[in-house]
Chain A
Amino acid sequence: MRFLKFFENAPFRLYLGIALVALFVLVGVILPWFAPSDPLTWYTAPRNQNPSATYLLGTTSLGQDIFWLLTWALRNSLILGLTVAFFSTVIGVFLGLAAGYAGGWVDRVLSFLMDALLCIPTLPILILMAALFGGQLALPIIGIALALFNWPYPARQVRAVALTMREREFINVAWFSGESSVRILVRHIFPYIAGWSAANFINTVLVGISTESALAVIGLSSAQQATLGTMIYWAINYQALLAERYIWVGAPVVAIVLMFIGLFLVSSGLSMQSAARRMSV
């Protein structure tokens, strides 16, 4: 089991992070199916309840069950983060390899594109889009935009690896022994970028959820879907703070903080582990 071998002597933070993230994924993926009713609908529960056995985290002043609302928000935020990370990683790895291998003007154009995209702040552009497209952005559009802005991070790293790989002896050996370039990519180069790509993937999940939430907190994300950010926005907008209903706003805040700490532990643990393994090989 080559996959399991990766986790031998892994740092403690990796396990802690995986446990935290797994907890949130379970809550976000499995629990929403058991919600007694659509938690977004108003007045499905009595208003302004304190936490109790029936309403684990109490209810909002709009008569929504905060616990079930939170599970739905988690699910949507996770879906968004994972989609953004998936597409950025795929585009990034592909274009990074292309730039590193092709060299010449392809490399120059792609590298410029990466550098340029890296120093364009994403949030203002999303705000502009939201303002122009009717005050709110649907989640799929936010996802596409974020993927378009986040692929340069993996692409730069993969390009750097591809550049050094071109010069390595064992790649030449593989070439001359007649292996196809696809096989070389998969068998010899992919192991070098896999650990780092996984770390970057997790990090992009974090950035995706964080940016959507930032947009949502100021009310510019989708109002039809609950995400962690829109939950905070609703709480602030319906004066949860002035009414001292801190659980309403506190639940998504605590969820974001814990989940992000978990994601960060996984991503930094993964990169520590793959760096350590590269040293030992």
Chain B
Amino acid sequence: MRLLRYIAGRLVVYLLVVVFGLTVLFFVPRLGPTDPIEAMLAKVASQGAYMDASQVDRLRESLADTFGLSGTLLEQYWAFIKRILLTGDFGPSLSMYPTPVMELIMNALPWTFGLLLTSTLIAWVLGNFVGLLSGWKPEGTSSRVMEGIAICLYPIPYYILALVLSILFSYVWKIFPLTTTIRGAPWSWDLVTSILWNSFLPGASIVIVVFGWWVISVKAQTTAIKEEEFVRYARLKGLGDGRILTHYVLPNAILPQITFLALQIGLMFNGSLITEILFDYPGLGLLIYSAVLQGDFNLLMGTISLSVIAVATATMVIDLIYPLIDPRIRHR
């Protein structure tokens, strides 16, 4: 019963957060000095599409409709929120007419999530392992060297590292592809290797930065925890180092990191957007970028609304499962 109430409360907050985010998105186009519709029309015209006056008028009307610019501000706002939350409908893409925006997003999302999830997991395992070992003997040479490396890696933005990796391994030493080209029939071995090969550099850029953070923070946790009474008790009991590390220190060192993950998801998402653009990786970031380049307002609004919803959802999911993993935290 308590658990249910906790989940319900968290869901209400989540909904409010999503509505708040969409409200921000609703007002952004209205804050600008320029009329977005005219800007879009100019963009379309500058791309050499010829349209006569009646076509322009029709386009202006449909843009006003998709921007939600008909009716009073309140009506516009209500229609905007309702359309996105209840129907998930962002209209057709203007540059790839008449493919629905939602379909394009659904094609891109697995790439973004796959990239982020896989690299976060790899970084998590590696970082915990190294952080735990170096926290166990914090004064040792190898542990100091590891921490030094981690401190130098963590502050680097994802996209800078992506750029460095692509310069080193695609331009100077040409072993990885410059841009992403996925080959192979569906569900074939060729396709799998092609995906792995093309995802290697973008993934590595995320893994390296996140790895740096885990090492720093798990090391600090481990160093503190190994001075605790229960660890001394385990040692007096005659347990070996290995067992103390895996059964006593590790669980306590890992848990606080999960709250950090919840706070960092937005930043990681930001970073992965640029990484995708730099590597031509077919995820949400590239979709946003092509929407900007082609002045495709529907696609832009759709992808960005979805980014906000995705990050809010991920944060909520972590918040919800945290008490399930940490037995010390009880639902209020």
Chain A interface residues (CB < 8 Å from chain B): 13, 112-113, 115-116, 118-125, 127-135, 206-207, 210-211, 213-214, 217-218, 220, 232, 241-242, 244, 246, 249-250, 253, 256-257, 260-261, 263-265, 268
Inter-chain contacts of B28 with A (CB < 8 A): 125, 128-129, 132
Contact A119 B17 (CB under 8 A): yes
Contact A124 B273 (CB under 8 A): yes
Q: Please pick, from B24, B34, B263, B270, the residue contacting A123 in the complex, using a CB distance under 8 A.
A: B270
Considering residues A119, A134, A214, A218, which has the most beta carbons from chain B within 10 angstroms of its beta carbon? A119
The reply to whether the CB of B90 lies closer than 8 angstroms to some CB of chain A is: no
Contact A116 B20 (CB under 8 A): yes
Contact B274 A217 (CB under 8 A): yes
CB distance from B287 to the nearest CB of A (A): 11
Other A-B pairs, 8, CB within 8 Å; known A119-B266, A128-B29, A256-B160: A123-B269, A124-B273, A127-B304, A214-B274, A217-B163, A241-B171, A261-B156, A264-B151
Interface of A, secondary structure class, is helix
**Per-residue 0/1 for B291-303: is the Cβ within 8 Å of any A Cβ (1 yes, 0 no)?**
1100100001101
CB distance from B100 to the nearest CB of A (A): 20
CB distance from B244 to the nearest CB of A (A): 26
Contact A115 B269 (CB under 8 A): no
Contact A253 B292 (CB under 8 A): no
Q: Could you name 28 residue pairs across A and B whose Cβ atoms are closer than 8 Å?
A: A13-B151, A112-B16, A119-B265, A119-B266, A120-B266, A120-B311, A121-B266, A121-B269, A121-B311, A123-B269, A124-B273, A125-B304, A125-B308, A127-B273, A130-B292, A133-B33, A213-B157, A214-B157, A214-B270, A217-B159, A218-B277, A241-B167, A241-B171, A246-B167, A257-B155, A257-B156, A260-B155, A260-B156
CB distance from B284 to the nearest CB of A (A): 9
The reply to whether the CB of B25 lies closer than 8 angstroms to some CB of chain A is: yes
Contact B32 A129 (CB under 8 A): yes
A135–B32 CA distance with the chains assembled, in angstroms: 12
Find the B residue at minimum CB distance from A235: B163
Inter-chain contacts of A116 with B (CB < 8 A): 16-17, 20-21
The reply to whether the CB of B289 lies closer than 8 angstroms to some CB of chain A is: yes
Inter-chain contacts of B176 with A (CB < 8 A): none
The reply to whether the CB of B307 lies closer than 8 angstroms to some CB of chain A is: yes
Inter-chain contacts of B204 with A (CB < 8 A): none
A211–B157 CA distance with the chains assembled, in angstroms: 9
The interface size of chain B toward A, counting residues with CB under 8 Å, comes to: 52
Contact B304 A118 (CB under 8 A): no
A127–B32 CA distance with the chains assembled, in angstroms: 13
Inter-chain contacts of B311 with A (CB < 8 A): 119-121
A140–B323 CA distance with the chains assembled, in angstroms: 42
Contact B159 A121 (CB under 8 A): no
Find the B residue at minimum CB distance from A203: B155
The reply to whether the CB of B154 lies closer than 8 angstroms to some CB of chain A is: yes
Contact B159 A214 (CB under 8 A): yes
A128–B154 CA distance with the chains assembled, in angstroms: 28
Chain B interface residues (CB < 8 Å from chain A): 13, 16-17, 20-21, 24-25, 28-29, 32-34, 36, 39, 151-152, 154-157, 159-160, 163-164, 167, 171-172, 263, 265-267, 269-271, 273-274, 277-278, 288-289, 291-292, 295, 300-301, 303-304, 307-308, 311-312, 315
A119–B163 CA distance with the chains assembled, in angstroms: 27
A117–B154 CA distance with the chains assembled, in angstroms: 24
A226–B39 CA distance with the chains assembled, in angstroms: 25
If A218-B274, A249-B167 touch, whether A124 touches B159 (CB-CB below 8 Å) is: no
Find the B residue at minimum CB distance from A236: B163
Contact B151 A120 (CB under 8 A): no
If A214-B270, A218-B289 touch, whether A124 touches B304 (CB-CB below 8 Å) is: yes
If A124-B304, A133-B33 touch, whether A257 touches B171 (CB-CB below 8 Å) is: no
Contact A124 B34 (CB under 8 A): no
Contact A253 B164 (CB under 8 A): yes
If A214-B157, A241-B167 touch, whether A123 touches B151 (CB-CB below 8 Å) is: no
